[in-house]
Amino acid sequence: MKGGCRIALIRIATVQWWFMRGRRIEEAANSITHAAGFGLSVAALVLLVVWTADQGSARQVTAVSLYGAALVSLYLASTLYHSLKGTKAGRLLQLIDRSTIYVLIAGTYTPFALVALRGGWGWSLFGVIWGLALVGILLVNLSVRKFPVLTCVLYLGMGWLSVIAIVPMLERLPAVGIAWLFAGGILYSAGVLFFMSRKFLAHTAWHLMVLGGSACHFLAVCAVLQ
């Protein structure tokens, strides 16, 4: 009987060891992927600000600064959260991490609303998307675990809100910009499936989809500025 208990305890300990090892591997992968995104987002911010300051208007500089700052904030928050997950700072960093998703969505809309659309459509879209971002941040800070489905629905709803302005967007955005914009939206949307999954490395896959979506939207912003 004692031998059987000992074997059972060894098996439990082995399973726990593999689980913790897998968790450490996944968190390392999560940190590395978005640390790379942080470096790229800083480069993107500098490039866009220098470009618009040299050739664009004050409106363009402001729009790309908001977009670039949102991009940097998301990747920095995500990198810090996954690097320090399980520590005392982890809970606060998780709230910041989830909040910056809404900030990035609104920030990404900003160049399209203020530079490409402008006028009534542009300012309306700008106001609505940033208003929804504030609602999302409020939900996250009320309880990151209490509204998981609602927060994901809000992510997706905000991401595809641009379809209400599809006609003026088709008129004012270059075709290549539209293509990159929707390609990014598809990658982000598909990535939500991994975001909701508990499977091993699913969250890392979500990070990779976010990187791909960010790259597509960066190219879309560049198309708007040309």
Domains of the chain: 2-225 (1.20.1070)
217 annotated ligand-binding residue: no
- Residues 51-77: tens digit of each pLDDT: 999 988 999 999 999 999 999 999 999
* pTM (whole model) above 0.85: yes
CA separation for the pair 219, 191 (Å, rounded):
19
Rounded Cα distance between 69 and 173, Å, is 23
Tokens 């809309």 belong to residue: 109
Residue 124 burial by CB count (10 A; 0-12/13-18/19+): exposed, middle or buried?
middle
Kindly state the DSSP code that residue 112 receives in the 8-state scheme. I
- Which backbone phi and psi does 66 adopt, to 5 degrees? -65, -45
Q: How confident is the model at residue 42 (pLDDT cuts 50, 70, 90)?
A: very high
- The residue among 73 and 89 whose pLDDT is bigger is 73
DSSP letter for 199, please: S
Angle at 41 between CA 37 and CA 47, to 5 degrees: 145
Task: Out of 63-67, 88-92, 135-139, pick the least confident.
Answer: 88-92
- pLDDT band at residue 18 using 50, 70 and 90 as cut-offs: very low
First to last CA, the chain: 76
> At residue 144, does pLDDT exceed 80?
no
How many of the other CB atoms lie within 10 Å of CB of 4? 8
Residue 93, pLDDT > 50, answer yes
